Amino acid sequence: MYRKSVLPNGVRVVSERIPHTRTVSVGIWVEVGARDEHDLNNGTAHFVEHMFFKGTPGRSARQIAIELDALGGLANAFTTQESTCYYASVLDRNLPQLIGLYADLLLNSRYAQIEVERERQVILQEFCMVEDTPDDQIQDLFAAQLWGRHPLGNTVLGSREVVQAMDSHKLGDYVRRLYVPGRILVAAAGSVEHDSFCRLWEEALAGLAPGGAELARVAPVPQPPVRKVHSRDLEQVHLVLGTYALPCHAPERYQLILLNTILGGNMSSRLFQEIRENRGLAYSVGSDLAFYEDSGSLAVSLGTDREAVNQVIGVIHEELRRITREPVMAEELANAKEYTTSSLYLAADNMEARMTRLARNEICFGREIPLAEAAAGLEQVTAAEIARLAEKLFAARDLALTALGPLGHDDIDWSLFR
């Protein structure tokens, strides 16, 4: 059963009680991310996330680690373009201890300079890890091209210069300004009783005063497509081709999800079948959606041989033209609906996934989206609606391109693009 409350200081609490489970997944979601930064502080949200477990006046970093392990659960954190999340899954009997611990970390993290120095080195290694993983690096390069100077083009890691210059004062000031009650959401799914859950958080967060500055997010304006080749000595050429899509709350979101599934969302998708199965041009190929509060993107990603780059680009363009001109066949649409609906319900068996879905629905829609409502929304989509949306996304503008690997600008057949 879904419940929602707002604590006296403005922190929102959403929960879903799931019968017949002994576990509960809890997340503290702060609506602050990389898009809320600029050139001089990009990477701060991610640095704060790293420092969350590094000590309070009453707990050292080692004591925090020991306490989390003693709770017998799993704990982690992540930063995205629009939010930062600190989460854990534990047995229900350990929920009060988890709330006490996480509230202490949220309110009282010290950001001690000695810990900042240690974690700085960890984050710099994370930069190296991304650069050693071209599948990851190219996504950052593509986002920077697609969004340009808009903050959605910021990377979560930020810049080395910002990380090198980070100190305890900057981190503490960032949290004081931006970790405000109106941007904090606590979500839980599993063996949780909502009223007692709220009481525990109200007591634990009593030191968090109402108020705080609101973030002014500016919606991006679509720009002409940018296409860049980043020459690098790799075994493969990695490609991302994509365009702008829809915000998370768009009425056509169900059409977009099914369009993505048909285009490149699974093994039977058109791009996977044509590029991998029929032509053997890539090991992995697929399309992905990014949903933001005021915009979004759809991008096709793959790795291929240098000699096959233009052939692959041609196939992608042909599949996009086909999906705008030819109605999706009834069987293909039915299969996409079944796959996507099944994925929704299968994810619901995981408490962490369920908690995440609760939080994202609250952030995007301000309410719960029941699984049955989402399934009904998918079922109602028609082939004609998918064709209209494909026309809107792909016919009105051409694709942006990012290439990373052993090739140069002149190796691309630019006549494949309009």
Distance, in Å, from the CA atom of 189 to the CA atom of 187, rounded to the nearest integer, reads: 7
Torsion of CA 8, 14, 19, 20, to 10 degrees: -100
Task: List Cβ neighbours of 384 (8 Å cut-off, separation of 6 or more).
Answer: 327
Task: Identify any residues that bridge with 55 across adjacent strands, giving them in sequence order.
Answer: 60
Q: Which of 16, 49, 274, 352 is catalytic?
A: 49
Distance, in Å, from the CA atom of 84 to the CA atom of 49, rounded to the nearest integer, reads: 7
Distance, in Å, from the CA atom of 244 to the CA atom of 287, rounded to the nearest integer, reads: 13
* 8 A C-beta contact, residue 56 and residue 104: yes
The token pair that represents 352 in the structure block: 């962490």
The token pair that represents 157 in the structure block: 């890691």
Which of 180, 181, 216, 141 is closest to 402 using CA atoms? 141
Which of 75, 365, 342, 348 is closest to 190 using CA atoms? 348
Task: List Cβ neighbours of 337 (8 Å cut-off, separation of 6 or more).
Answer: 258, 378, 379, 381
In a 3-state reduction of DSSP, which class is residue 302?
A: strand
Which of 370, 37, 331, 365 is closest to 174 using CA atoms? 37
Alpha carbon 59 to chain centroid, angstroms: 30
* 8 A C-beta contact, residue 244 and residue 417: no
Distance, in Å, from the CA atom of 275 to the CA atom of 273, rounded to the nearest integer, reads: 6
Distance, in Å, from the CA atom of 83 to the CA atom of 117, rounded to the nearest integer, reads: 24
Distance, in Å, from the CA atom of 250 to the CA atom of 246, rounded to the nearest integer, reads: 6
In a 3-state reduction of DSSP, which class is residue 41?
A: coil
Is 49 marked active-site? yes
Which of 318, 295, 309, 304 is closest to 243 using CA atoms? 295
DSSP letters for 155-175 = -SS--HHHHHH--HHHHHHHH
The residues assigned a catalytic role are 49
